[in-house]
Amino acid sequence: MELVIVPVLAVLAAVGISSVKVTSSSRSMLVERLGKYNRQLKPGLSLVLPGVERVVSHESLKERVLDIPPQQCITKDNVSIEVDAVVYWQLLEHARAYYALDNLQAAMVNLVLTQIRAEMGKLDLDQTFTTRQEVNEVLLRELDQATDPWGVKVTRVEMRDIKPTIGVQQAMEQQMTAEREKRAAILRSEGERESQVNAARGRAEALVLDARAKQEALMLETDAQARQQTVLAKARAEAAAELARVISAEPAAAESLRLLLAKDWMAMGQEMARAQGGSVLMVDPQSPASLLAALKGLQEKG
């Protein structure tokens, strides 16, 4: 009897242990009763009726990463490219996902590939590189709408790499090289033009400065000469006034002045006598009439 009781107790213990389920807060278990969905086990300790109920699915509720393999696509301008992506998703309703699809990840991969081909077909090759963020946002919105009936939330979509074919890559490299050479030539020409403009501007400024300096020098010289003439005229006027004052004040000074003039006339006559082929003009410095008669005689001899 004891030999029969021990195996029975072992079986009951095994059944009891298997009926106890511990569920983590980050995971989900689905239970079917007699082949029909019954409930989703809550986090913590749960009991499952042995032979009547069974756990049919055990999935994580954390955010997951789905790696999309490289996919050949054709752009709007008929260029073949290879695109791969990464999709971040989370299981929100375990029961809907389990009973809606047989293979959730395979369905999501095919859906993402289809959406990528559709979006790439709307863009030119250049746009696929410049509008990557916009394409990611479109893919996220469309994938989230498509997976909502499955109880799945798509949180992020990132296209990792876009690779054109080797021939297209070579053509792009040649185009980039030509563009760089063009920009370099433009920069060189602009530099040369700027240099010539600066040189011409420097020459013009030098000419202006030189002309301004000459003008200022001429004005200074003219002003100096004018001041000199003014000073000389003033000195002469003062000398004449002083001479007139002395003559009027001293009658003997007039006689002295006539003697000085006679001396000057005699010196001038000696100079004229020494001149070759010249004539000697002797006049009385005190008689203007004698000077006129002498000049008339020289004219008649000529």
Please report, for the chain, the start and end positions of each structural domain, with discontinuous segments joined by +. Answer: 2-59, 63-164
Six token digits for residue 201: 């501007």
**pLDDT score at 244:** 66
Please report, to the nearest 10 degrees, the dihedral formed by the alpha carbons of residues 86, 92, 94, 98 taken in order.
-40
**pLDDT score at 87:** 92
**pLDDT score at 15:** 46
Beta bridge partners of 80: 74
With contact defined as beta carbons under 8 Å apart, do 120 and 139 qualify? no
**pLDDT score at 181:** 80
**pLDDT score at 86:** 92
Q: 291 exposed, middle or buried (CB, 10 Å; 0-12, 13-18, 19+)?
A: middle
Distance, CA of 276 to chain centre? 90
Six token digits for residue 138: 């479109």
Question: Per CATH, which fold does 63-164 belong to?
Answer: Tetrahydropterin Synthase; Chain A (3.30.479)
By C-alpha distance, which of 41, 112, 117, 32 is closest to 72?
117
Please report, to the nearest 10 degrees, the dihedral formed by the alpha carbons of residues 94, 97, 100, 102 taken in order.
-110
Reduced to 3 states, what is the DSSP secondary structure of residue 57? strand
**pLDDT score at 79:** 84
DSSP letter for 86, please. Answer: E
Residues contacting 286, CB < 8 A, separation 6+:
258, 262
Name the residue type at position 98.
Y
Give the residue ranges of the chain where pLDDT is below 70: 1-20, 22, 169, 172, 240, 242-244, 246-302
Distance, CA of 90 to chain centre? 44
Across the chain, mean pLDDT equals: 77
